[in-house]
C-alpha cells in the first residue's frame, strides 16, 4: 500500500510471474528514478519480462498546480519545467512517462489517471490544504 496526498501512487505489475510493486513516487523519488529501480528489481526474476509489465499511475498533483521555486527548479531538466513569472511548474507525469519509455515500457502498457489532487476537491492535497489526510493505492494478489 502507498499512502499519498499529492505524490504519485504507482503500481508496477508483471502478470506472468504474478508479482507487483506499489510505489510512493514523490518529487525526490521520481528524480531518483524509483520506478525504474522497482522495474529492475522485478526483472531480477528470470521469468519476468518488461513486455509483460503493466503500469498504473493514480491521481497526483499535476503540472497545472505543482509550482516550485527556482531553488528546486534548477535541479530538474528544463523539459519538465513550465516557466511562470518567477516560479516554475513541474511536470512529474512527463518525467514518469519518459522514465517508463527508457525502461522499454510502451504507452499501451501504462494507465495514467488524469486527475490532479490539487484541483480535485474530493481528494487530499497537501499543496491545497496544508496538513491533510492521505489516500491509498492498495494492491493484492489472489
Q: How confident is the model at residue 15 (pLDDT cuts 50, 70, 90)?
A: very high
The answer to whether residue 80 sits within a structural domain is: no
User: What's 29's domain CATH number?
Assistant: 3.60.140.10
The answer to whether residue 78 sits within a structural domain is: no
Domain total for the chain?
1
The answer to whether residue 68 sits within a structural domain is: no
- CA dist 59 and 10 (Å) reads 10
CB 119 within 8 A of CB 64: yes
Question: What's the pTM?
Answer: 0.94
Average of per-residue pLDDT values in the chain = 96
pLDDT at 142 over 90: no
Distance of CA 36 to the CA centre of its chain: 11
For 102, the domain range is 2-62+92-137
Amino acid at each position: 500500500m502507498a499512502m499519498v496526498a499529492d505524490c504519485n501512487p504507482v503500481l508496477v505489475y508483471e502478470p506472468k510471474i504474478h508479482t507487483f510493486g506499489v510505489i510512493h513516487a514523490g518529487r525526490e523519488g521520481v528524480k531518483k528514478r524509483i520506478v525504474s529501480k522497482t522495474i529492475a528489481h522485478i526483472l531480477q526474476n528470470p521469468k519476468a519480462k518488461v513486455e509483460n509489465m503493466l503500469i498504473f499511475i493514480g491521481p497526483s498533483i499535476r503540472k497545472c498546480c505543482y509550482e516550485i521555486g527556482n531553488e528546486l527548479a534548477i535541479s530538474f531538466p528544463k523539459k519538465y519545467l513550465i516557466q511562470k513569472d518567477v516560479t516554475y511548474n513541474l511536470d512529474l507525469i512527463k518525467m514518469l512517462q519518459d522514465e517508463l519509455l527508457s525502461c522499454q515500457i510502451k504507452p499501451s502498457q501504462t494507465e495514467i489517471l488524469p486527475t490532479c489532487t490539487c484541483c480535485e476537491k474530493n481528494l487530499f492535497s497537501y499543496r491545497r490544504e496544508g496538513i491533510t489526510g492521505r489516500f491509498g493505492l492498495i494492491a493484492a494478489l489472489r
